[in-house]
């Protein structure tokens, strides 16, 4: 009896110790619920209800039809146009499955799992369960569709057809189809192969038939002979290109479905699982369209939408040195809105706002490498824009295709905006090799462009002459859009120069220019941040662009940590713009209000961004904007930047690190009063986990990837306890009651308990 009491006391003591230690444990295990989009009916429209899969370069939208399945597919480089013709991003083609069972079914379910990057369709016909699985594998460069009938045999009967969105040729073999053709510059090819388990496969006139199979794996590959590193943007002849595509599908077909799936899951989860968000909400028992329609206030929807942006990033921005476009990689039209181009005055930049802070730095590289290749390409189009003005360096216009062609309104400050991304990647990763070999040469050339272009005004300041505030107003000297971006460029390049110890003469000129640069942050007559230096700002102007607030977000010049006078002026400008707008514009406002530490306003805009819409036509009508049933952003029409912008905005509400320290929970709305997140990154290559309760931070875990000094901001953190995971106390510098800093060791974790 004494022994029993003794062990009971030990157990109680252990449980009490665990309870005391629970907050720090909780930060390591955010209980994120299952994340999926799901529906009880097939998709009817490509834009509003089909579901996207992608491996970074090659993607598809599946509909989930019962009698007929449509899988529309794209590849990032299927474009018309050339270095001298704009052209447009193109639909690649469609894969159709025609079933013999008919459209009537029961127990229908269609879903897209964000946890696994897999689509699933299931239903019953005549007591037979039919299941399809869909995924786009990055390791094997293939789209995989798996058809099974669990518990039944010899029940799969269908015809497979491939449809070219252009006028190529089609070769049909017993177990595969090859589709090939050419556009203005590129040649394209897609191949599909059927791997059956049981049954018979035979070729028809324009299809492949499958009869009485137990299971079937369908493999789809596709690509073009595009190469951004080539002076002509084309590499290899038809034979070499065909052999490359053939090797890809031969390799994939040599692997079992289990092996293909395991490889896909391991690869995808290595990226997606880095970040978890737990707002203490379970998955509602209702389809996603109904959730949007009747329960938009759902915190589960907030988590789902946040992670959907990360899913879309992984699915559309990996591999080749090309950024995702206005629709990521998904497009069913040969004449899409704005040509599905690379738009340089906000859109492609917003596509990458969540890349670094949501721990997807690898997905940033296709954009960063694209910038470096095009900016430094000898006699390339960006350099030609500068040479035409008799200036050094590089610049571009607003609309850009993948062949270097650039037109419609010169957008000179975009070179500075692009360089913000180069510097940001270094700031978050501390990748010195990247800074030296990739980022700095591009940043230096952009600086030289502005060295040559800037003019001195009557006040002795350097200003950019004859610039615009996209996409409105007059062209005049010293507009805020240009000046704020040039400041960001000069400041970050000066920081890079000091790290790399580069040419002193360049550093001297850069420092002198920066010292006398008009920074573009001026307060106007009604208390606003001025948009134009000379022309009057109109109070109540609700234009969608916030070009004069780049200094607030994504820039760093305006903050309540720096000067409340300018932060209040930025607030005045935001209030003047209003809460209206569609798609990406509303997403931008979420981040701006988060930077002003107003979580309630940011959350209000997030919920407005989740307005369910069915408008597929191009419009700027506020009421038409929001999201479709498939959660794709509606500008409208569909434009993916709003998805990425919203994910970035949610991240800014949880963590900010743009003022020389990591600020924890800077814009937390009351509705998120309890929660956990893990894996979000801060500047300095730190990974941050947070646990909060009743609006107050309970504990924080910092993982140091580079061994830098960690500086944290949170009200009252000056009295926190900081230890290693081994419970060893860490001495820290208490800068004030709200700011602490402490040295870290690369690879170690640090717990902060308030």
Supply φ then ψ for residue 589, to 5 degrees: -65, -30
Q: At what angle do helices 440-453 and 414-429 cross, to 10 degrees?
A: 150
Mention every residue, 6+ apart, whose C-beta is less than 8 A from residue 638: 47, 327, 616, 628, 632
Residue 102's pLDDT is what? Answer: 78
Which of 110, 641, 52 minimizes the C-alpha distance to 315?
A: 52
Q: At what angle do helices 480-500 and 440-453 cross, to 10 degrees?
A: 130
Place of tokens 């737990």: 278
Residue 2's pLDDT is what? Answer: 41
pLDDT digits (tens, 9 = 90+) for 450-468: 999 999 999 999 999 999 9
**Cα 408 vs. chain centroid, distance in angstroms?**
25
CA separation, residue 653 to residues 357, 593, 595, 706 (Å): 12, 9, 8, 25
Residue 26's pLDDT is what? Answer: 37
The pLDDT confidence band at residue 3, using thresholds 50, 70 and 90, is: very low
Supply φ then ψ for residue 543, to 5 degrees: -60, 145
pLDDT digits (tens, 9 = 90+) for 337-396: 999 999 999 999 999 999 999 999 999 999 999 999 999 999 899 999 999 999 999 999
pLDDT digits (tens, 9 = 90+) for 180-194: 999 999 999 999 999
Q: At what angle do helices 381-388 and 361-376 cross, to 10 degrees?
A: 50
Indicate whether 580 pLDDT > 60: yes
Residue 30's pLDDT is what? Answer: 80
Q: Which CATH superfamily is domain 2-30+670-753 in?
A: Golgi alpha-mannosidase II (2.60.40.1180)
Query: What tokens were used for 364?
Result: 């940033």
Residue 100's pLDDT is what? Answer: 85
What does the pLDDT average to over 58-71? 98
Residue 23's pLDDT is what? Answer: 36
Indicate whether 8 pLDDT > 50: no
Pinpoint the residues of the chain covered by CATH 2.70.98.50: 36-291
pLDDT digits (tens, 9 = 90+) for 119-163: 999 999 999 999 999 999 999 999 999 999 999 999 999 999 999
Question: Do 35 and 304 touch, CB atoms closer than 8 A?
Answer: yes
Q: How many CB atoms are located within 10 Å of the residue 504 CB?
A: 9
What does the pLDDT average to over 631-640? 97
Mention every residue, 6+ apart, whose C-beta is less than 8 A from residue 21: none
The pLDDT confidence band at residue 622, using thresholds 50, 70 and 90, is: confident
Pinpoint the residues of the chain covered by CATH 1.50.10.10: 341-516
The pLDDT confidence band at residue 101, using thresholds 50, 70 and 90, is: confident
Phi-psi group of 138: left, alpha or beta (phi > 0 → left; psi -120 to 50 → alpha; rest → beta): alpha
Average pLDDT of the chain to the nearest whole number: 95
**Residue 318, beta-bridge partner list:** none
The pLDDT confidence band at residue 411, using thresholds 50, 70 and 90, is: very high
Edge to edge, what strands does the sheet with 733-736 contain?
655-656, 662-664, 710-713, 739-742, 733-736
What does the pLDDT average to over 57-85? 98
The class that CATH gives domain 341-516 is: mainly alpha
Pinpoint the residues of the chain covered by CATH 2.60.40.1180: 2-30+670-753
Q: Which fold has domain 36-291?
A: Beta-galactosidase; Chain A, domain 5 (2.70.98)
The pLDDT confidence band at residue 557, using thresholds 50, 70 and 90, is: very high
Residue 238's pLDDT is what? Answer: 78
The pLDDT confidence band at residue 290, using thresholds 50, 70 and 90, is: very high
Of 504-513, 599-608, 618-627, least confident by mean pLDDT is 618-627
The pLDDT confidence band at residue 282, using thresholds 50, 70 and 90, is: very high
Sign for the pseudo-dihedral over CA of 616, 345, 57, 167: positive
Percent of the chain having pLDDT more than 70? Answer: 96
Question: Do 518 and 483 touch, CB atoms closer than 8 A?
Answer: yes
Length of the chain, in residues: 754
Indicate whether 61 pLDDT > 70: yes
pLDDT digits (tens, 9 = 90+) for 20-31: 333 333 344 688
The DSSP element (H or E) to which 736 belongs, if any, is strand 733-736
């Amino acid at each position: 009896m004494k022994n029993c009491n003794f062990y009971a006391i030990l157990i109680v003591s252990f449980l009490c110790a665990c309870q005391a230690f629970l907050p720090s444990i909780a930060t390591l295990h955010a209980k994120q619920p299952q994340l999926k989009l799901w529906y009880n009916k097939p998709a009817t429209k490509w834009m509003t209800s089909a579901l996207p899969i992608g491996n970074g370069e090659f993607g598809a939208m599946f509909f989930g039809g019962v009698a007929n399945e449509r899988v529309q597919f794209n590849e990032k480089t299927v474009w018309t146009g050339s270095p001298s013709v704009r052209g447009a991003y193109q639909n690649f083609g469609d894969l159709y499955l025609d079933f013999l069972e008919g459209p009537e079914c029961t127990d229908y379910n269609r879903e897209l799992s964000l946890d696994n990057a897999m689509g699933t369709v299931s239903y019953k016909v005549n007591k037979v369960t039919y299941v399809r699985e869909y995924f786009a594998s990055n390791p094997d460069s293939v789209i995989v569709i798996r058809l099974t009938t669990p518990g039944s045999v010899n029940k799969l009967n269908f015809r497979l057809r491939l449809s070219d969105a252009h006028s190529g040729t089609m070769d049909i073999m017993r177990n595969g189809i090859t589709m090939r053709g050419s556009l203005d510059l590129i040649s394209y090819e897609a191949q599909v192969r059927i791997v059956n388990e049981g049954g018979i496969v035979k070729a028809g006139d324009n299809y492949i038939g499958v009869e009485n199979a137990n299971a079937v794996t369908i493999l789809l590959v596709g690509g073009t002979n595009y190469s951004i590193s080539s002076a002509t943007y084309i590499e290899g002849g038809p034979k070499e290109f065909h052999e490359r595509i053939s090797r890809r599908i031969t390799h994939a077909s040599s692997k079992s479905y289990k092996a293909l799936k395991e490889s896909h899951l391991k690869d995808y989860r290595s990226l997606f699982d880095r970040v978890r968000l737990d707002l203490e909400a379970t998955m509602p028992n209702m389809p996603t369209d109904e959730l949007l329609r009747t329960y938009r206030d759902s915190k589960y929807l907030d988590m789902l939408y946040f992670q959907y942006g990360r899913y879309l990033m992984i699915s559309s921005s990996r591999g080749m040195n090309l950024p995702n476009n206005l629709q990521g990689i998904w497009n069913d039209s040969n004449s899409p809105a704005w040509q599905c181009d690379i738009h340089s005055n906000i859109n492609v930049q917003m596509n990458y706002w969540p890349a670094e802070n949501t721990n997807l730095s690898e997905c940033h590289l296709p954009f960063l490498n694209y910038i470096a290749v095009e900016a430094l390409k000898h006699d390339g189009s960006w350099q030609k824009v500068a040479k035409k003005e008799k200036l050094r360096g590089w610049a571009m216009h607003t609309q850009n295709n993948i062949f270097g062609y650039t037109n419609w309104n010169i957008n000179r400050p975009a070179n500075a905006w692009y360089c913000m991304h180069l510097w940001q990647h270094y700031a978050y990763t501390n990748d010195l090799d990247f800074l030296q070999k990739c980022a700095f040469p591009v940043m230096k050339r952009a600086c030289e462009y502005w060295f040559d272009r800037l003019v001195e005004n009557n006040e002795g300041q350097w200003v950019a002459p004859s610039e615009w505030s996209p996409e409105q107003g007059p062209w005049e000297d010293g507009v805020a859009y240009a000046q704020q971006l040039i400041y960001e460029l000069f400041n970050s390049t000066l920081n890079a120069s000091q790290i790399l110890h580069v040419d002193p003469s360049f550093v001297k000129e850069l420092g002198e220019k920066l010292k006398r640069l008009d920074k573009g942050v001026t307060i106007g007559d009604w208390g606003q941040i001025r948009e134009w230096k000379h022309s009057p700002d109109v109070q109540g102007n609700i234009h969608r662009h916030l070009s004069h607030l780049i200094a607030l977000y994504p820039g760093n010049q305006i903050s309540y940590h720096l000067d409340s006078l300018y932060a209040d002026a930025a607030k005045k400008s935001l209030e003047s713009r209003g809460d209206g707008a569609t798609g990406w514009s509303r997403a931008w406002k979420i981040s701006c209000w988060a930077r002003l530490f107003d979580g309630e306003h940011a959350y209000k805009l997030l919920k407005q961004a989740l307005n369910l819409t069915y408008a597929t036509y191009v419009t700027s009508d506020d009421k038409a904007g929001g999201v479709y049933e498939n959660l794709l952003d509606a500008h409208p029409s569909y434009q993916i930047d709003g998805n990425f912008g919203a994910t970035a905005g949610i991240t800014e509400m949880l963590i900010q690190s743009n003022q020389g320290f990591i600020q924890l929970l800077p814009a937390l709305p009351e509705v998120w009063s309890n929660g956990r997140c893990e894996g979000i990154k801060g500047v300095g290559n730190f990974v941050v986990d947070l646990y909060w309760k009743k609006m107050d931070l309970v504990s924080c875990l910092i993982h140091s990837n580079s061994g830098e000094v960690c500086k944290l901001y949170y009200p009252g953190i000056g009295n926190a306890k900081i230890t290693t995971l081994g419970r060893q106390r860490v001495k820290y510098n208490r800068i004030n009651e709200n700011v602490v800093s402490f040295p870290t060791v690369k690879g170690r974790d640090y717990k902060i308990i308030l």
